[in-house]
């Protein structure tokens, strides 16, 4: 069973450890070791800042990753999102699809925003493909946008609009029900 629960104070060190895992950090903008002091500032911000919301991804009662929306901009009716699965043993079980659906539903049906955006390192082809399979459109390319391990990396910008979600929601829900990921 997959679910998402709000991040709590006692998740702080676990999340820092996850952020420092090589297979997680590989896909993040940062590539340095995240110190307890640096993480403390970031964690304090995510617990207090109304322009962000973070959840722990739980699989079979085990905390396995993090999902979040950030830069929630009510004036322009948009936000960004990102996620990662820290536990490599459970990849391929539909967690990414479930998390993507959860975020789409939350942003469009709960927050009632108009646009959901994300930025993905260009070499992360699996995640780019997953976003596109949910209806995200590529809106841009930031060429050599970040430096990772001393190399410039392109970033793909993707987004979905509320009207696109409304057109695709039933089909996406049907697909996830067929895979046993939605049971409502």
What is d(CA 69, CA 83) in angstroms, rounded to the nearest whole number? 9
- Res. 15 pLDDT band, cuts 50 70 90: very high
The tokens for 168 are 């695709």
pLDDT digits (tens, 9 = 90+) for 81-98: 999 999 988 888 899 999
Residue corresponding to tokens 């085990």: 62
Question: What pLDDT score was predicted for residue 92?
Answer: 82
Whether residue 156 is predicted with pLDDT greater than 80 in this model: the reply is yes
pLDDT digits (tens, 9 = 90+) for 28-78: 998 899 999 999 999 999 999 999 999 999 999 999 999 999 999 999 999
**Cα angle, residue 127 at apex, residues 112 and 14 outer, rounded to 5°:** 80
Q: Which long-range contacts (CB under 8 A, 24 or more apart) does 15-19 make?
A: 15/39, 15/43, 15/56, 15/66, 16/43, 18/65, 18/66, 18/84, 18/86
Whether residue 183 is predicted with pLDDT greater than 90 in this model: the reply is no
pLDDT digits (tens, 9 = 90+) for 125-134: 999 999 999 9
Whether residue 123 is predicted with pLDDT greater than 90 in this model: the reply is yes
Its CATH architecture, for the domain 2-178, is 3-Layer(aba) Sandwich (3.40)
pTM reported for the whole predicted model: 0.95
Q: Are 131 and 158 in contact (CB under 8 A)?
A: yes
Whether residue 184 is predicted with pLDDT greater than 70 in this model: the reply is no
Mean residue pLDDT of the chain comes to 96
């Amino acid at each position: 069973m997959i679910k998402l629960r709000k991040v709590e104070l006692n998740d702080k060190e676990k999340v820092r450890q996850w952020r420092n895992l090589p297979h997680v950090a590989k896909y993040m903008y940062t590539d340095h070791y995240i110190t307890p002091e640096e993480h403390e500032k970031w964690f304090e911000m995510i617990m207090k800042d109304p322009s962000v919301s973070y959840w722990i991804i739980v699989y079979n009662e085990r905390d396995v990753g993090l999902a979040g929306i950030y830069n929630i901009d009510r004036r322009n009716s948009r936000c960004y999102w990102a996620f990662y699965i820290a536990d490599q043993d459970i990849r391929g079980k539909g967690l990414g699809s479930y998390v993507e659906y959860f975020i789409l539903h939350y942003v469009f049906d709960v927050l009632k925003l108009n646009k959901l955006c994300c930025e993905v390192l260009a070499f992360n082809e699996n995640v780019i493909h997953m976003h596109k399979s949910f209806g995200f459109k590529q809106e841009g390319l930031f060429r050599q946008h970040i430096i990772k391990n001393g190399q410039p990396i392109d970033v793909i910008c993707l987004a979905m609009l509320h009207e696109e979600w409304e057109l695709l929601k039933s089909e996406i829900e049907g697909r996830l029900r067929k895979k046993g990921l939605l049971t409502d």
